[in-house]
Structure 1
Amino acid sequence: MASHSGAGTIVSNPRHGRLRRSSAWGNALRVLLTTVIVVAMSGVATAAYSVWGLYNGMQTIDLGDAGDLADAVGFGADEIEGELTVLLVGTDSRAGQSLDDGETGELNDVNLLLHVSADHQRATVVSLPRDLMVPVPSCPGPNGEPEYYSAMSEQQLNSTLSIGGLPCVVATVSELTGMDIPYAAMITFDGVIRMSNALGGVDVCLTEPIVDEYTDLNLPAGVNNLVGLEALQFLRTRHGVGDGGDTSRISNQQVFMSALVRQLKSSSTLSDPIKVYGLAKVGVENMTLSSNMATTGFMQAVASIVRDIDIDSINFVQYPSNAHPYAPGRLTPNLAAAQTLFDVLKSGQAFDVTAVGEGVAEVPEDPAADPNAVQDPNAPAETEPADPNAPVKLPPAITGQRADNETCSQGRTVL
């Protein structure tokens, strides 16, 4: 954590010079985070609820003013009224974990914003790149002291956990997105391999082989069943996909996440209480929750909200960004595109993502369709009026995919 000195002065964290470190475990947390979401979506909640009862002594944290936006949900609650927004943070801390590679400190290398629309018809997971350079507001202290950490004009997003803990990450993401975030969870890396093994692997499509000496990953083209260490290597690879950057890695991870959702929705996993119990148990044992989430009632209410959301109404999108103008390898927010995205989320409108990320290929719905077919220039123009209820088309600066759209990783596309 950044140290506090005098009247709100921030002493620079000595680890900031090494923020580009990429842990296989830290990046692989998206498996765990997504599975926790999907377990809630299953509607097979009895086994999962019993886990929360067993672990009523689990770690919690007070979010301060942000957490005051929502009261704790009591036992037996039928649902949470209105929209649901939860920030899911993956920490790379080694404290108390089985991995001991000499690294110290704590970074929020995974930042996922889950938003369920007020009518409970749509769920969106927004991935925020760890390399974003963003303003950091004043953050509360370790005992809830207001404005304990001074505001900063620009810091890398994944440094905010070390600056002021989970409440500071919540405050930073809330200010960046304009979204109220009353709930947050933080997850460690110890459960990732166990989670992957419990699922029996995830089938992921590759149009080209992926070879990455940095992660020791070597996968052939075709469908690969990724489990255990290989799943972690796939999720952490950056040099093996797209243009080798953070945004390409996120897009590659969205290929995995959407495949995971489709697999869970279509398999017997979520209809088997023992498997659901095991998945939920792994998650609970490795989580810290905001205090207003740590109730059986909250889990019941979340399951009630999301269990009936159709898979074609679940979207994974990436927070839009551009190359930073003066910090090589860093990103700066694309504020105009981001405003469009979060305006749509707040409105509750259905939307379509119009562009996949770098290094991702869409699988045609009709395998016989010719991707190079040319439209007839003499064909009559469409004269039907636009449907006011049609989904909003997001600009191509906002990449991602719907969970029901099958995509493939193309490996490295830019050398």
Structure 2
Amino acid sequence: MSGDTSGIAEVPKHSPDVPQGAGRGTAAAGAGRRRARRILMVLAGMMVLVLGSTVAYAGYWYYRINHNIKGAPLHGAVVPPEQLASGGIIQPTPDAYGNLPVNILLIGTDTRLPGKDASLGGFVDTSGRADVEMLVHVSSDRSNATIVSLPRDLMVPIPECVDNKGNHYGSQSVAMINSALAAGPGCQVDTVELFTHVKIDHFMMVDFSGVVDLTNAVGGVNVCVTKAVHDPDSHLDLPAGTSEVKGTQALAFLRTREGFADGSDLYRTQAQHQYLGSLIRKMKDQSTLDDPIQATHLMDIASKSLTVDDPIASVSKLLDLANTLKKVPTDNITFLTLPTVPYQPDINRVAPDKTLDDQIFSLIAHDRSVTAPSTQSPATSSESTGGQPASPTPSGSASTLAPSAVKANILVENGTTADGRSKQLAETLRADGFKNASGVGYSSSDVTVTEVYYSDDKYEASAQAVADALQLPAGSVRPGGDGSAPVVVRVGADFASGDVFNRAAPTTPSALPTAAASSADVESAGDKGLCVAAAH
């Protein structure tokens, strides 16, 4: 390579006195060009090697992670819950754009296999139970999510199940909800479906060692306790206030019962909510899922202790699911603990609070979040409009241009969490007569307010015509934009669905009735001030 470089340096500069095609300069120039071509060929070869190595690297990790992921049947009941007399699973209804909500059962298993799991759990137990169980609901427009913790001591009916080895497990009229995992995660899914009447699309199960490794991978998370905790059973040792936990301390924080409040499983779920909220915030702050290298590293770690339902047991399917989940703004993720009442035959168990629980599960089954997102725009807040959608205000002076007279290109940018939103509105505009409308994504998915920009004063009337057609409120039209088109419609969370502003509201969160909200200890993943009550 150094010889070729010096060869290029020897090529003489052209002199005004010597014609470009004359004598030695011509030969030297030809030699220089040949050497330059050789350099380009070497560089091209290096690029092929680098790209080839990158592809091989990606292929290696794809194979490795794919091999790590364990799949299992989504269902395990001999008779599906919807076919039982007491079933009645509510089937979700697609929204106006054909999108469906996603319901996932998260299972943290207390299986303790010989080796790493046993050292973390303290003893070997290969049977395993659902030590942590959460029902995750993501709305159809991906604008909000609700995560309901199901106490492991909850007493519910268990259906007859068969595991993936063909072993049969008889039905039980009442048993601890976490015991269904003995027949496999599919039986756990059907038990939750039978109890909640909510259709579950997927499950994700992780063991003890996975919790430790994932926490270490993101560098630990911050948790808070109201006073110092020293629990000899879980080995949790934390000072009062905020601490960063990693590894076994993170696991101890998630597992301890005696360290929090009255020592029951109900207060442990609040600690789990705080931990998960902190983990979600950290991953979003670090843009972990947006960085291919970090995402690959995290997926490799997670896959070693992960079992999912067969339809998503691949890298590509899990990436699709991750991309769906990451669209939900952190402030719009709501945690709650299922309300319960004492189980009379055994004071160490709890029973469902049927009245309150039915309210929560009915909202989830019908694709309604349990609390209003904190990022909701005042213009669309039901609190400011008496519970009714706000009526659109005229966008200003009516445009003198008819849609068919607008010749400028119109670009609709999707600044929301709703998949395909820009294309939907572009189609609406074309149907209205704006022939040159098209839709693209946007660099951010947390735009709050929809606005129409014009790049030059001569396009102001065109922008106004677009705003009028969409019935956007006054003040929506302004100069500026990113220069990608003469007219740019940047769609925000206040216009996440519908063909005209506020005429078809997005997935509308609903506040829980006071009794249910109080009993469920509702918390937001975006709340950095959460602090778990330590035991007295």
TM-score, structure 1 normalization: 0.71
Is 1:59 the equivalent of 2:70?
Answer: yes
- Any conservation in 1 of the 2:339–2:353 contact (CA below 8 Å)? yes
Question: Any residues of structure 2 matched to 1:76-87 within 5 Å, and which?
Answer: 81-87=99-105
CA spacing shift, 1:407–1:385, aligned 2, 3 Å: same
Letter in 1 for 2:534: R
Corresponding position of 2:387: 387
Letter in 2 for 1:187: V
Corresponding position of 2:435: none
> 2-side partners of 1:266 and 1:63: how far apart?
33
> 2-side partners of 1:87 and 1:48: how far apart?
30
- Once the two structures are overlaid, the 10-residue window that deviates more, 190-199 or 281-290, is 190-199
CA spacing shift, 1:53–1:387, aligned 2, 3 Å: farther
Q: For 1:260, what is the secondary structure of its paired residue?
A: helix
> 2-side partners of 1:221 and 1:141: how far apart?
45
Structure with larger RCO (C-alpha < 8 A, sep 6+): 1
Letter in 2 for 1:331: V
CA deviations over 1:352-376 (Å, ceiling 9, x no partner): 289xxxxxxxxxxxxxxxxxxxxxx
Letter in 2 for 1:239: E
| Deviation (angstroms), 1:49 | 10
Please report the RMSD computed on the Cα atoms of aligned residues, expressed in angstroms: 3.1
Larger Cα Rg: Structure 1 or Structure 2?
2
Corresponding position of 1:90: 108
Corresponding position of 2:188: 169
CA deviations over 1:45-72 (Å, ceiling 9, x no partner): xx99985543333321123478x99xxx
Corresponding position of 1:103: 125
- Once the two structures are overlaid, the 10-residue window that deviates more, 279-288 or 105-114, is 105-114
> 2-side partners of 1:119 and 1:160: how far apart?
32
- The count of aligned residue pairs is 328
Q: For 1:292, what is the secondary structure of its paired residue?
A: helix
- Any conservation in 2 of the 1:258–1:403 contact (CA below 8 Å)? yes
Q: For 1:103, what is the secondary structure of its paired residue?
A: coil
| Deviation (angstroms), 1:311 | 1.3
Letter in 2 for 1:113: L
CA spacing shift, 1:349–1:115, aligned 2, 3 Å: closer
- Any conservation in 2 of the 1:341–1:398 contact (CA below 8 Å)? no
TM-score, structure 2 normalization: 0.56
Letter in 1 for 2:230: V
Corresponding position of 2:527: 405
Is 1:189 the equivalent of 2:211?
Answer: no
> 2-side partners of 1:93 and 1:128: how far apart?
18
- Any conservation in 1 of the 2:159–2:191 contact (CA below 8 Å)? yes
| Deviation (angstroms), 1:179 | 0.9
Q: What are the ranges of 5 or more consecutive residues in structure 1 without an aligned counterpart?
A: 1-46, 70-78, 355-382
Corresponding position of 2:155: 133
Question: Any residues of structure 2 matched to 1:294-373 within 5 Å, and which?
Answer: 294-352=313-371
- Any conservation in 1 of the 2:75–2:190 contact (CA below 8 Å)? no
Q: For 1:408, what is the secondary structure of its paired residue?
A: coil
> 2-side partners of 1:324 and 1:213: how far apart?
28
Q: For 1:118, what is the secondary structure of its paired residue?
A: coil
- Any conservation in 2 of the 1:122–1:309 contact (CA below 8 Å)? yes
- Any conservation in 1 of the 2:261–2:534 contact (CA below 8 Å)? yes
Q: What are the ranges of 5 or more consecutive residues in structure 2 without an aligned counterpart?
A: 1-56, 82-96, 374-382, 390-507
Corresponding position of 2:164: 142
> 2-side partners of 1:246 and 1:317: how far apart?
14
Q: For 2:311, what is the secondary structure of its paired residue?
A: coil
Q: Percent identity?
A: 31
> 1-side partners of 2:198 and 2:59: how far apart?
29
- Any conservation in 2 of the 1:88–1:185 contact (CA below 8 Å)? yes
Is 1:215 the equivalent of 2:333?
Answer: no
Corresponding position of 1:366: none
Letter in 2 for 1:95: L
- Once the two structures are overlaid, the 10-residue window that deviates more, 206-215 or 240-249, is 206-215
Is 1:156 the equivalent of 2:167?
Answer: no
| Deviation (angstroms), 1:332 | 0.6
Letter in 1 for 2:107: V
> 1-side partners of 2:263 and 2:58: how far apart?
38
CA spacing shift, 1:217–1:393, aligned 2, 3 Å: same
Question: Which has the larger helix fraction?
Answer: 2
- Any conservation in 1 of the 2:226–2:532 contact (CA below 8 Å)? yes
- Once the two structures are overlaid, the 10-residue window that deviates more, 136-145 or 283-292, is 136-145
> 2-side partners of 1:49 and 1:64: how far apart?
31
CA spacing shift, 1:88–1:48, aligned 2, 3 Å: farther
CA spacing shift, 1:172–1:51, aligned 2, 3 Å: farther
CA spacing shift, 1:48–1:221, aligned 2, 3 Å: farther
- Any conservation in 2 of the 1:97–1:190 contact (CA below 8 Å)? no
Letter in 1 for 2:105: L
| Deviation (angstroms), 1:104 | 4.2
| Deviation (angstroms), 1:116 | 1.1
| Deviation (angstroms), 1:169 | 0.6
Which of residues 297, 301, 316 is equivalent to 1:278?
297
- Any conservation in 2 of the 1:49–1:299 contact (CA below 8 Å)? no
- Any conservation in 2 of the 1:86–1:182 contact (CA below 8 Å)? yes
Letter in 2 for 1:133: M
- Any conservation in 1 of the 2:76–2:190 contact (CA below 8 Å)? no
| Deviation (angstroms), 1:141 | 4.4
- Any conservation in 1 of the 2:198–2:364 contact (CA below 8 Å)? no
- Any conservation in 2 of the 1:207–1:408 contact (CA below 8 Å)? no
Letter in 2 for 1:54: R
Q: For 2:132, what is the secondary structure of its paired residue?
A: strand
Which of residues 115, 134, 143 is equivalent to 1:112?
134
> 2-side partners of 1:120 and 1:180: how far apart?
17
